[in-house]
Structure 1
Amino acid sequence: MAAKLYFLACLTAVTFLFHFTNARNAPSVTSINNSTFSQNYTHVCDPSRFSYLGLNMKDFAFCDSSLPYEVRVKDLIDRMTLNEKSGQIGDIASGVPRLGLPEYIWWSEALHGVSSVGDGATFFNDVVPGATSFPTIWVVKHFFFFLFFQAVSTEARAMYNLGQAGLTFWSPNINVVRDPRWGRALETPGEDPFVVGEYGSNYVRGLQDVHGTENATDLNSRPLKVAACCKHYAAYDVDNWLGVDRYHFDAQVTEQDMKETFLRPFEMCVKEGDVTSVMCSYNKVNGIPTCLDTNLLKNTVRGEWNLHGYIVSDCDSIEVIIDDQKWLNDGPEDAVAQALKAGYSVTMGKVKEEVIDRALKNLYIVLMRLGFFDGSPHFEKLGKGDVCSDKHMELAADAAREGIVLLKNANETLPLNSRKIKTIAVVGPHANATKAMIGNYAGTPCRYTAPIDGFSKFGKVIYETGCGDVLCKNESLIFPAVRAAKKADVTILVVGLDLTVEAESLDRMNLLLPGYQNQLINQVASESKGPVILVVMSAGGVDISFARDSPNIQAIIWAGYPGQEGGHAIADVVFGRHNPGGKLPLTWFENEYTDMLPMTSMPLRPIDALGYPGRTYKFYNGSTVYPFGYGLSYTNFTYKLTSSTKSLHIDWSKSHHCRDLNYTDGSYKPGCPAILIDDLKSCDDHNVDIELEVENIGERDGKDVVMVYWSPPREIAEAPIKQLIAFKRIFVRVGESQKVSFRLNACKSFEIINYRGYSLLPSGGGKIVIGDNLVSTAIHVHFQR
């Protein structure tokens, strides 16, 4: 009995919170799974479907579309027995045949395209053999966030209509890349919490929004195209490093770092993206498993941020809490009960039945909003022709082009002149990359265009691997690659990492290219007849300072993991069909950085007593291979500040008090260092306006990402060196200029999080910096009663 009870307890918790691998072993139920259901009916409340089941749909108020969702959902839940309710709270909901409620599989993925990862809700076959696979890494580009995921959701909805996909997708990953060794860097948009939050909220909007209903006032009834899930909440960025794994890791995080870095993307995802789900992570935070933390879940996600949806645990989290973390020596029932009280789903008698009902309400309202019960007229005509369409595949190619970052271009070697190039040596372990280009959480792509395919459009390709794979464990294949480079007019070296080096459950030990890749690069570059272009495929940064400084390597390109159209995108950039404008979403550290501090040290600020340097561009001031936000173009832009607010006078109530901040020794400390942002009457009234003129003084039309940073008053101790507060992507033709304006809200842009976790607005002089210190302007904040 104990074993059975353990299984059922875990299963009930799993559902929308704990997806549990043993859910597949649940007792079988006479029901209709996602696939069969979708192939025959587009929604639950179809009269012909109920007739087929021998039921009268008019007997069930939950199918009365004239009633509010809450009324309908209450009717559905009230009709269920406790056992039936328990069967709906795992990631595979069993359904209730006597009520005409079909089985539903909640777990689907769509990190960069519709994925086949999950419990079988989404799959490929002869009807839909593949879906568009987009790049996995995103840089600072607002425009593509929405278009990219709008295409993904269209394909997902089309596949749902064909019985080959679910409606709930547990993506995106919006964890900040705190440490350059993290194996899951390929899933996230970088190290800056503001950029990650912008990415997350735009991802969610692209996936969820139904045109014309984006600004609905009742968020609990706002229609959804498909449902997204922001994960993994929170302070999760250690997978498996030197014997420390994510199941046992206890992240010791200050209130300052938690609010400033780890929570900000999730807050933006919920508040600005209106995401329907948040997934908690495996790890503990300050001794408490995140999936049992009432403050993080109930008080913050549901309370302060007002989530309109459900909370889900990561795979097997309850089992991890019991078996691996041994939390308070709880048995399965106790762990499940605690999880429910923290903000989850379901129980085995340790909590009141009304707690289960609230969890089910959150779940079924989401399914109502998705049209699972009533259908979605906006999307019912989507079908096979909307998956892998020419439009989507071109968008994937364009996204890959936009994401490419030009790191080096000595003597303007690039772009190459195709009229002068007859033979192209394409060598290296990624020269013929296919699956490596799409990373993890992938489905079957529509097609692959490897680098050798892309370059074959521009000349005769001589292909050599140079290494057996990215691990490059021996040098036996280097000589053929050198020989190819001696014969060609230009050599393209395509190197990097893949899922054998950086992946979920696999953190990196160093920041070097694996094995003999450095030797391959140096030997090929020293013997090449023509110019050498180095192309790096990776998610995390790699220490290629030797190549950066080598006179034998004329240009360096970072392609990330560029998706199914990666080969075309890389070749188009090299030969000038596309002018690169991408920016690095991560600092590329020198390899020695990893010897300075353990991956398990969570603080972002330097720890002087231990000699630990700061993390990310916000707190690290040492030398780098390439800095965050770095990226060249085939043209040149100049910035000219045309107007800016110089000072901000803020009135505040006499009943409120000044707040203290730590200042560096010997520096001037204002009489009122800061005020609590929550004490201000209205943050909307406190704005700084800046305008600049961006001129293209080069010889090619091009795109630029205008990045705006704020440097807090330098006297404030432990403040960020600078932090990104705004960005815009613009296109400027040769010889022309474009004016770009920003309205910066002081409460959001100039916020300082103190060591107690309070959001403060500091007084004194700060500085707004645009680009790489190309333009800056001082801004003074004054408080007055």
Structure 2
Amino acid sequence: MKPAAALLCLAVLALAVGASSVDTHHRQLDQRAALERSAPFYPSPWMNPDADGWKEAYAEAKKFVSQMTLLEKVNLTTGIGWASEQCVGNVGAIPRLGLRSLCMQDAPVGVRGTDFNSVFPSGQTAAATFDRTLIYRRGFAMGKEAKGKGVNVLLGPVAGPLGRMPAAGRNWEGFSPDPVLTGVGMAESIKGIQDAGVIACAKHFIANEQEHFRTPGDPVKEALSSNIDDKTMHELYLWPFADAVRAGVGSVMCSYQQVNNSYACQNSKILNNLLKDELGFQGFVMSDWSAQHTGVASAVAGLDMTMPGDTEFNTGISFWGTNLTLGVLNGTVPAYRIDDMAMRIMAAFFKVSKSIELDPINFSFWTSDTYGPLHWEAKKDYQQINYHVDVRADHGNLIREIAAKGTVLLKNTGSLPLKKPKFVAVIGEDAGPNPNGPNSCGDRGCNSGTLGVGWGSGTANYPYLVTPDAALQAQAVQDGSRYESILSNYATSQTQALVSQANVTAIVFANANSGEAYITVDGNMGDRKNLTLWNNGDALIKHVAAHCANTIVVIHSVGPVLLTDWHANPNITAILWAGLPGQESGNSITDVLYGKVNPAGRSPFTWGATRESYGPDIMYTPNNGADAPQQDFTEGVFIDYRHFDRTPATSPDNKVLYPFGHGLSYTSFSYRNLRITKSHPSTYTPTTGQTAKAPTFGAFSPNPKDYLFPSDQFPYLRHFIYPYLNSSDPRTASLDPHYGQSAAQFLPPHATDDSSQPLLRASGGRSPGGNRGLYDVLWDVTAEVTNTGKIIGEEVPQLYLSLPGEGQPKVVLRGFEKVRIDPGQTVEFRVRVTRRDVSEWDVGVQDWVVREGVKRVWVGRSSRELELEGVLP
């Protein structure tokens, strides 16, 4: 067996307590210093056997883990190495107890790297529906497809990036820069995925807001540090993860970058304190792929599973595996911690699965060939590895519905909906196919043809891709319309000749793409270089509008683009944002353009006039020499509409073209009769008391000879990561010259403490998601919404609050509902306002507090179209 070369006694995170947060002025003066370090928090909290929603899973996990040996526990927590088996990530099997290797697989839009699967609309597009039911159904369908392929952990949904900067490459994988909308997206997706029998993995925890410098490497020696103050962390970035934990998520993936100069996957403050203690997370923390930087230090800081297991791809060298076995044997990793790791993994497993008898993994991520090596990296065990199982069911219809209902009608002067137009001219390469096929670019790493999804690990292979050109032509043929298309952005003279003709309705398609940093497309290293349309899109739109008085623009994009130069052109009669619609793209946009679906999408972000208008931006150039770039989140909670609302009205950067939550319909709605009813909940009670002592399950032999590689039982596979030792001498097995040091010599105080611990006042005790009192309903707010038009429509009334005190946003979203209303009908819109909704994080007392003062409530159709106003009594 090749020894694991990672040192056991590795340097732990830089740990120093930040500046005092009692005096606001003093905190502001010392903000830079406060952001430079992440405060230590130990020991790592252990599971609560009485946690709401986890009792049965805990009991089953306890039965299982109590039977496991130390080697089996290490096998369960350590990935077996990049490409060592069929999935993008696997942990070791427990054959003695009948558990096959657990399979971890992307993606936020579908099962990555397989065939006969669906490609769903992006999370951002799903968020634009503002429809909880559709988001749940999307999650459930994705979970069913994953389960059908043999996947056990689906690596999504995404709340990191939240969307601090509109140019960030992976914003489209998530939902919205608003934490409430993202929180709903997370919770409903998780419920759907896990109801389908697959563990959901909420990622990337936390503040993973850009692709540049997310990992160490030229030109920086250490990854970027996202430096966030305590108040901003709680009120913005942690908010949707609290919703994920409250929804019962089984897994959370820690991110690549540093948080306050401590790598996220070994950051005890965010993993032990915020996630496991304060939020009461009962599942397991998984590293992003090669985001682990230490061995023992990451274990005591709260990491439960390392992916893919090796320190660098295809090395067979691991921080855990052999080294984790040694760490437990010599006491640097306490016995309770390895037990808690295994318990958390198996509890998440039993939360979604009633049996350890799992369906086989029926695909290989590493090849589409039917036959090949089961152990891809080692090129061993040739057999059938792809069974080409079709898991799509009728999900195409759901995808078509979500993409249509997630399409946002930004502008319409009366040209839509189309009704058997005489002559339709479709312009732009975004309307057509990639000439080399929709899957011709690995992980969709190009921008050719219509844009259905961004690029990177968040993608999936298309089973087909319906282009707008194909769908619109089919509709035109059905209507008897004349139809022509020019699927180029550069055919200037031909385009002018076509759109200048009489009776023409010109529909221009343009896009803007982005993705993950390991792929660069047209100079965009994951993050977008700018917010303009790609491939001459803006010039194409202006060219068509200059020659056609009825120009309709459709945008497929990963977020907002700049419309300033042309959105007000009177020849542009309609603008639609169709997001990233997935495989049914053409059918969905045709449904909206022709009125088969009355548009009800609402923008999940703000459309600003300039790039500068958004405030914080991507750091493209390191600001700290070759050391870790320092990205200070000094804007606090003021991102997207909160930032625009704070900017002085006289500033040119204040101009909002289309606000957050905006979207038009083919009918009209009116709002009236706002009513506020006060509830009478119990008084908020901070959590008190102590946890139980850390439990341990099963004894293990202290003799290293009992952990030697069993070469008489099976052969060693190249680069496969095992829990075994290659020598009975621990120092030799570890390759660590410092082997034998006690934990006290290199770990922070209390890192190995297994005694009962005080409960945080903000924690929920046994209530995942935080103190139970946060979710008490304080007010019922209702309003009446009437369809004043002539056709059935869906409206999205939105409730915003204005909270008292300095430093508060003008308004914050706190509730919404998608309602279907017949012509002339009036329906009641209702939001239950909770204590959490009106609270702010007090950095001094370390808890949520309701500040005295006037709290205003607003109801309307967007963040800047608020028809009704009231005061919460």
| Pair 1:704-2:795 in alignment | yes
Letter in 2 for 1:644: I
For residue 419 of structure 2, what is the aligned residue in structure 1?
A: 417
Match of 2:155 among 149, 165, 170: 170
- 1:618 corresponds to: 642
Q: 1:277 and 2:274 equivalent?
A: no
Q: In structure 2, the residue corresponding to 1:725 is in which secondary structure? A: strand
Looking at structure 2, the residues matched to 567 and 297 of structure 1 have their Cα atoms a distance apart, in angstroms, of 43
The 1:594–1:737 alpha-carbon spacing in structure 2 relative to 1, beyond 3 Å, is closer
Residue 81 of structure 1, CA deviation: 6.6
In terms of fraction of residues, the more helix-rich structure is 1
Identity %: 24
2:693 corresponding residue in structure 1: none
| Matching of residue 561 in structure 1 with residue 580 in structure 2 | yes
Deviations 1:358-391 (A, max 9, x none): 32232234344454854489xx9xx9997223x3
**What is the match of residue 72 of structure 1?**
63
| Aligned match for 2:210, one of 238, 247, 253 | 238
How far residue 267 of structure 1 moved from its aligned partner, in angstroms, is 1.1
Give runs of aligned pairs for residues 360-375 of structure 1, distance below 5 A.
360-371=342-353, 373-375=355-357
For structure 1, the 5+ residue unaligned runs are 14-64, 117-122, 161-165, 211-224, 322-334, 468-475, 608-612, 657-675
Matches within 5 A, 1:113-124: 113-116=110-113, 123-124=114-115
Aligned residues of 1:765 and 1:780 also touching (Cα < 8 A): yes
Query: In structure 2, how many angstroms separate the alpha carbons of the residues matched to 1:112 and 1:387?
Result: 14
Distance 1:578 1:454 in 2: 15
TM-score by length of 2: 0.67
Q: Residues 372-421 of structure 1: CA distance to partner in whole angstroms, max 9, x if unpaired?
A: 854489xx9xx9997223x31111100011000000101x1111111xx2
Q: Tell me the CA shift for residue 173 of structure 1.
A: 1.1
Q: Is 2:393 the partner of 1:400? A: no
User: 1:602/1:8 Cα in 2 relative to 1: closer, same or farther (>3 Å)?
Assistant: closer
The structural deviation recorded for 1:587 is 1.2
Q: CA separation in 1, counterparts of 2:410 and 2:141?
A: 30
Residue 397 of structure 1 aligns to which amino acid in structure 2?
R
* Pick aligned residue for 2:852 from 763, 770, 781: 763
| Greater relative CO (CA pairs within 8 A, separation 6+) | 2
- Deviation per CA, 1:259-314, whole angstroms, max 9, x where unpaired? 1111111111012x100001111111111111111121123322222223211111
Q: Which letter maps to 1:465?
A: L
- Secondary structure, aligned partner of 1:490: strand
2:596 aligned residue (577, 581, 588): 577
Deviation (angstroms), 1:184: 0.8
The residue aligned with 2:471 is: 454
Deviation at 1:563, TM superposition (A): 0.7
Residue of 129, 146, 149 corresponding to 1:156:
146
- Structure 1 position 461, deviation (Å): 3.2
Counterpart for residue 486 of structure 2: 464
Q: Counterpart in 1 of 2:286?
A: 312
Q: Is the 8 A contact 2:228 2:633 kept in 1?
A: no
The number of residue pairs the alignment matches comes to 637
d(CA) in 2 for partners of 1:298 and 1:307?
10
**Rounded Cα–Cα distance in structure 2 between residues aligned with 1:502 and 1:643:** 53
Cα shift at 1:439:
2.8
Check whether the contact 1:425–1:492 (CA below 8 A) recurs between aligned residues.
yes
1:92 to 90, 93, 108: 90
Mapped to 2, the partners of 1:685 and 1:365 lie a distance apart of: 28
> Is residue 76–residue 91 contact of structure 2 (8 Å, CA) maintained in 1?
no
Alpha-carbon deviations, 1:713-740, whole Å to 9, x = none? 3xx2110111111111100011111122
AA of the residue aligned to 1:130: N
Q: Measure, in 1, the Cα distance between the counterparts of 2:333 and 2:80.
A: 15
Q: CA deviation at 1:244?
A: 8.6
CA positional deviation for 1:635: 0.8
Identify unmatched segments of 5+ residues in structure 2.
13-55, 82-88, 305-319, 363-386, 439-450, 477-481, 515-519, 620-629, 646-653, 689-760, 765-770
The answer to whether the 8 A contact 1:400-1:566 is kept is yes
Separation in 2, partners of 1:66, 1:731: 39
DSSP 3-state at the match of 1:144: helix
Which residue pairs with 1:299 in the alignment? Answer: 273
Provide the residue aligned with 2:821 in structure 1: 732
Provide closer, same or farther for how the CA distance between residues 376 and 356 of structure 1 changes in structure 2, counting only shifts above 3 A. Answer: closer
Q: What is the match of residue 253 of structure 1? A: 228
Distance across 2 between alignment mates of 1:584 and 1:397: 18
Which residue in 2 is equivalent to 1:519?
539
Displacement of 1:685 after TM fit? 6.1
- How far has the Cα of 1:777 moved from its partner? 3.0
Task: Please name the residue that 2:40 is paired with.
Answer: none
SS at match of 1:398: helix
In 2, distance between residues paired with 1:275 and 1:67? 14
Of residues 771, 775, 779, the one that matches 2:867 is: 775
Contact 2:679/2:777 (<8 A) preserved: no
Partner residue in 1 for 2:723: none
| CA deviation string 1:730-760 (max 9, x = no partner) | 0001111112222212x12211234656422
Structure 1 residue 590: deviation in Å?
A: 2.3
Q: Look up the SS of the partner of 1:764 in the other structure.
A: coil
CA distance in 2: counterparts of 1:637 and 1:245, whole angstroms? 54
Amino acid at match of 1:413: S
Deviations 1:303-333 (A, max 9, x none): 2222232111111112xx4xxxxxxxxxxxx
Q: Distance in 2 between matches of 1:103 and 1:505?
A: 38
Aligned partner of 1:352 among 316, 333, 352: 333
Which residue identity is paired with 1:527?
A: H
2:505 to 490, 497, 519: 490
What's the TM-score once normalised by structure 1's chain length?
Answer: 0.74
Q: Does 1:104 align with 2:101?
A: yes
Partners of 1:493 and 1:245 in 2: how far apart? 42
Question: Distance in 2 between the 1:599 and 1:80 partners?
Answer: 44
Deviation at 1:76, TM superposition (A): 4.0
Change (3 A) 1:603 1:79: closer
| 1:638 matched residue in structure 2 | 670
Aligned partners of 1:134 and 1:400 also within 8 Å: yes
Give the whole-Å Cα distance in 2 for the aligned partners of 1:5 and 1:376: 30
Residue 785 of structure 2: SS of its match in structure 1? Answer: strand
Hey, what does 2:426 align to over in structure 1? 426
Cα distance per residue 1:428-466 (max 9 Å; x no partner): 120115643133422223321100011112224322133
Q: Partner residue of 2:841?
A: 753
Q: Does structure 1 conserve the Cα–Cα contact (< 8 Å) formed by 2:190 and 2:200?
A: yes
